[in-house]
């Protein structure tokens, strides 16, 4: 049963990705918006809906006396690390990814600034209502700036291959299929892994951690294979900004959020290191070379190995 659902989930990821990219590219052409901005604004938010749903659910459970803070913070930071480490590294091996230096500086500063803000707020062990609101406000300002950029760049409206309503429908349906299929794939993969006798540590760290990045992975690979490199990079950058600020901010607004010291000591600095290195590679030659992508991917694999080793020892 689980194997059948796994195959169905993987097929759904492929189909959803095809539909999503078709709609996104058509919208970009019709409204004269860069593919990078489409990736940062629309694809990133759509592919991160599972993380947002987890944060809201955990926040409500915290409000009634539970303690699901580690789920929110771990999912947000872990997903960001998977996207910038595994997804960017893997996609960078498939194709030469480029970004203008000005764009890299602007969005890179937002990425690192958001992570620093989360670290500062979590330093005392709790993210309060006010701090959660501040995180959401920062993301709101970032989103408004992006929307202004869209308005300023959409001077030339081109004819897309589909009507606007159909492109939007394709985009929404595609994202729903991708997110739903990712959930089905992860759930069935966990079932298969347990059936094969794999440890809970392997299941949690590799399968669930990898699964949280499946929507970004499939969309980014699909975009690159179709020649839309900037859309792929935009999706990853937008997703990381969203994951760093919004889930933690939303959960903290619902109820005070505990911030695990080990995450602050290990995952946050490691994410900052991988993010800084990836941005440096983009700035160095206005693109990330394949060997540089391999370094980024290697750092993520080293992190997974470290977590697995630690889990086995304990």
Give yes or no for a contact between 209 and 305, defined as CB atoms under 8 angstroms apart: no
pLDDT of residue 156: 47
Give yes or no for a contact between 257 and 68, defined as CB atoms under 8 angstroms apart: no
Mean residue pLDDT of the chain comes to 80
Q: What is the number of domains present in the chain?
A: 1
pLDDT at 127 over 90: yes
Q: Which candidate, 20, 55, 76, places its Cα nearest to that of 235?
A: 20
Q: Which candidate, 161, 1, 132, places its Cα nearest to that of 63?
A: 132
30 is in which domain, residue-wise? 2-313
pLDDT of residue 200: 47
Give yes or no for a contact between 97 and 229, defined as CB atoms under 8 angstroms apart: yes
| Cα–Cα–Cα angle for 168, 174, 179, rounded to 5 degrees | 130
Q: What is the pTM of this model?
A: 0.81
* Helical packing angle, 69-81 and 49-63, nearest 10°: 160
pLDDT of residue 194: 64
Among the residue ranges 116-120, 184-188, 231-235, 244-248, the one predicted with the least confidence is: 184-188
State mean pLDDT over 253-274.
91
Task: Using pLDDT thresholds of 50, 70 and 90, give the confidence band for residue 115.
Answer: very high
User: Which CATH number does the domain housing residue 150 bear?
Assistant: 1.20.1420.30
State mean pLDDT over 231-248.
89
Helix or strand (DSSP H, E) at 80: helix 69-81
Task: Using pLDDT thresholds of 50, 70 and 90, give the confidence band for residue 206.
Answer: low
């Amino acid at each position: 049963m689980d194997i059948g659902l796994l195959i169905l989930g993987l097929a759904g990821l492929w189909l959803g990705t095809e539909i999503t990219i078709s709609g996104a590219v058509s919208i970009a052409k019709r409204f004269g918006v860069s593919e990078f901005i489409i990736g940062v604004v629309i694809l990133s938010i759509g592919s991160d809906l599972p993380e947002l749903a987890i944060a809201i659910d955990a926040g409500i459970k915290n409000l009634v006396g539970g303690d699901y803070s580690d789920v929110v913070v771990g999912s947000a930071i872990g997903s960001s690390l998977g996207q910038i480490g595994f997804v960017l590294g893997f996609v960078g091996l498939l194709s030469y990814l480029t970004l203008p230096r000005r764009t890299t500086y602007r969005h890179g500063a937002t990425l690192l600034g958001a992570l620093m803000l989360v670290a500062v707020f979590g330093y005392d062990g709790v993210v309060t209502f006010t701090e959660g609101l501040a995180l959401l406000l920062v993301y709101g300002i970032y989103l408004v700036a992006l929307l202004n950029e869209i308005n300023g760049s959409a001077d030339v409206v081109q004819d897309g291959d589909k009507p606007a309503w159909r492109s939007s429908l394709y985009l929404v349906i595609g994202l729903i299929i991708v997110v739903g299929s990712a959930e089905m794939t992860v759930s069935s993969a966990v079932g298969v892994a347990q059936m094969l006798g794999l440890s809970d540590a392997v299941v949690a760290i590799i399968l669930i951690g990898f699964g949280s990045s499946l929507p970004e992975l499939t969309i980014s690979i699909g975009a690159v294979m179709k020649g839309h490199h900037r859309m792929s990079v935009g999706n990853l950058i937008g997703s990381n900004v969203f994951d760093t600020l919004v889930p933690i901010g939303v959960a903290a607004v619902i109820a005070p959020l505990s911030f695990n010291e080990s995450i602050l000591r290990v995952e946050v600095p490691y994410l900052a290191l991988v993010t800084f290195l990836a941005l440096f590679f983009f700035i160095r030659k206005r693109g990330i070379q394949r060997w540089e992508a391999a370094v980024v991917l290697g750092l993520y694999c080293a992190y997974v190995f470290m977590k697995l080793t630690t889990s086995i020892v304990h």
